[in-house]
Amino acid sequence: GAVVSQHPSRVICKSGTSVKIECRSLDFQATTMFWYRQFPKQSLMLMATSNEGSKATYEQGVEKDKFLINHASLTLSTLTVTSAHPEDSSFYICSARDSGGADTQYFGPGTRLTVL
């Protein structure tokens, strides 16, 4: 299947700092990428939909000024958690939709963010 990478896989930061997470589709182009968040023992929750070359669409309750999304190319989307706080600690997962295939979404391995 198609491969999606995320970097970093794990990050620990101090409260108040910003953290950038990269999501790349390695062997296909993705017009649309998605960002999810998963808290312990819960299912994945969609945060935002990222379309190449345009502004992201955020789900209700997700602050767009706090979670900055950039999708500048067909293979890269970034999520920046600005002024991170301990409650932002979570597992962040991206996915990319294979526009050239059957619109199947492929997921990255996730990024574990811990804010101290």
Partner 1 sequence: DAKTTQPTSMDCAEGRAANLPCNHSTISGNEYVYWYRQIHSQGPQYIIHGLKNNETNEMASLIITEDRKSSTLILPHATLRDTAVYYCIVYSGYSTLTFGKGTMLLVSP
Residues near partner 1 (CB under 8 A) are 1, 4, 6, 34, 43-46, 49, 91, 93, 95, 102-110, 112
Q: How many helices (H) and strands (E) does the chain have?
A: 0, 11
Closer to partner 1 by CB, 78 or 110: give it. 110
For residue 46, the minimal CB distance to partner 1 (Å) is 6
* 64: helix, strand or coil: coil
Closer to partner 1 by CB, 49 or 89: give it. 49
Amino acid at 1: G
Closer to partner 1 by CB, 44 or 74: give it. 44
For residue 73, the minimal CB distance to partner 1 (Å) is 21
For residue 40, the minimal CB distance to partner 1 (Å) is 10
How crowded is the C-beta side of 82, counted as CA atoms within 13 Å? 8
For residue 43, the minimal CB distance to partner 1 (Å) is 4
Contact 108, 34 (CB under 8 A): no
Using CA atoms, how far apart are residues 71 and 116, in angstroms rounded to an integer? 28
